């Protein structure tokens, strides 16, 4: 890499990541962590050679068409790339990368937290304690559901799904999964493969969603499929909100068609989340913190930087998606 390419960083990154970035590039930082509008991003990148955004910034076809010609790459600080129009980027000759692998453990931990929180009514219990409403103990008080020995359905047995399966085996859960094709490597073990989403849903007690958002998966968990789950079933989502039909899931939770949901991702996040989720006692809600550990956020940043270094050295970046 010759010279020091200019990189527009759209959000505040961990200090260690920003220091490493400054060793290789001329970064345009966002120390106040302000959420830029599209117009602000376009103005800021007029003097940049690459952009290092998060999933909070959206690069649709119209935005990509307006990017300055000198922009060579969009190096995402995320695994998901549904916020970038990959076809438009490829047509414009802009390389797009992501940060896979490094957040599997952290996201799997959150998935397990959501399962436990939803199953054991942790959100209700925490609210009762904060409001000082705990008055008595009885055998009928705050009775939830036990995970041990239950059937866990994993929708998308990729990197995160496999780690979730490994963690869930510690609870003696039976693993079931759906992928486009069955897998035969060590990460799957004795898991049961289901050729269709419908068959998976009919045979699990907990559904954990780990497929990416795409045209094929948008609204995948709709009313018809939710109806295949039994009344004691729990839905967990640490992937993308777009995979879930919010109206259908809220209706099922309200009616008792399913028992509970644990959610870390949402349609319209952060300020346009379906209001029904907040109004229900049988939801356990987190603010998209699946990768929010110091170790993981640093690793994501280093991975994005490594991709940028490769691009400006004229090499193929490890995590190219377009």
CATH number of the structural domain spanning residue 164: 3.40.50.720
- Residues 125 and 20 placed together within one structural domain of the fold: no
- Residues 159 and 200 placed together within one structural domain of the fold: yes
Peptide bond into 270 cis (omega under 30): yes
Supply 20's token pair.
């490493």
Find tokens 């998209």 and name the residue.
288
Q: What is the pLDDT of residue 2?
A: 53
The SS3 assignment for 320 reads strand
Residue 162 maps to a domain:
yes
Q: What is the pLDDT of residue 19?
A: 98
Q: What is the pLDDT of residue 184?
A: 82
Residue 50 maps to a domain:
yes
Residue 256 maps to a domain:
yes
Domain count, the chain: 2
57 assigned to active site? no
269 assigned to active site? yes
Parent domain of 30: 6-102+294-312
- Residues 152 and 258 placed together within one structural domain of the fold: yes
178 assigned to active site? no
Q: What is the pLDDT of residue 186?
A: 66
Q: What is the pLDDT of residue 189?
A: 86
The one catalytic residue among 240, 274, 297, 303: 240
The one catalytic residue among 20, 26, 269, 320: 269
Residue 34 maps to a domain:
yes
Residue 1 maps to a domain:
no
Instruction: Identify the segments of the chain with pLDDT beneath 50.
Output: none
Cα–Cα distance measured from residue 286 to residue 200, given in angstroms and rounded to the nearest whole number: 26
Cα–Cα distance measured from residue 322 to residue 309, given in angstroms and rounded to the nearest whole number: 17
């Amino acid at each position: 890499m010759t010279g020091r390419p200019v990189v527009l960083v759209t959000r505040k990154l961990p200090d260690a990541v920003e220091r490493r970035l400054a060793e290789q590039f001329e970064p345009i930082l966002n120390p106040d962590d302000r959420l830029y509008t599209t117009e602000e991003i376009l103005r800021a990148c007029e003097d940049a050679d690459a952009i290092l955004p998060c999933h909070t910034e959206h690069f649709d076809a119209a935005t990509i068409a307006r990017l300055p010609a000198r922009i060579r790459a969009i190096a995402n600080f995320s695994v998901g790339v549904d916020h970038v129009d990959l076809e438009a980027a490829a047509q414009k000759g802009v390389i797009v990368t992501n940060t896979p692998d490094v957040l599997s453990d952290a996201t799997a931990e959150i998935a397990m937290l959501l399962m436990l929180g939803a199953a054991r009514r942790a959100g209700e219990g925490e609210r009762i304690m904060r409001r000082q409403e705990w008055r008595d103990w009885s055998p009928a008080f705050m009775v939830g559901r036990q995970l041990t020995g239950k059937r866990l359905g994993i929708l998308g047995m990729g990197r995160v799904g496999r780690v979730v399966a490994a963690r869930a085996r510690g609870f003696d859960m039976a693993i079931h999964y759906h992928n486009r094709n069955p897998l035969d490597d060590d990460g799957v073990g004795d898991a049961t493969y289901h050729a269709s989403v419908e068959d998976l849903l009919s045979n699990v007690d907990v559904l954990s969603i780990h497929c990416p958002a795409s045209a094929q998966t948008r609204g995948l968990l709709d009313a018809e499929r939710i109806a295949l789950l039994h009344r004691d079933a729990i839905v967990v989502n640490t992937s993308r909100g777009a995979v879930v039909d919010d109206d259908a899931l809220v209706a099922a939770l309200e009616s008792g068609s399913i028992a509970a949901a644990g959610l870390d991702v949402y349609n319209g996040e952060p300020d346009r989340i379906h209001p029904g989720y907040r109004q229900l006692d049988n939801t356990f809600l987190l603010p998209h913190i699946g990768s929010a550990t110091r170790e993981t956020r640093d690793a994501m940043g280093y991975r994005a930087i490594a991709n940028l270094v490769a691009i400006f050295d004229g090499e193929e970046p490890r995590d190219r998606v377009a």
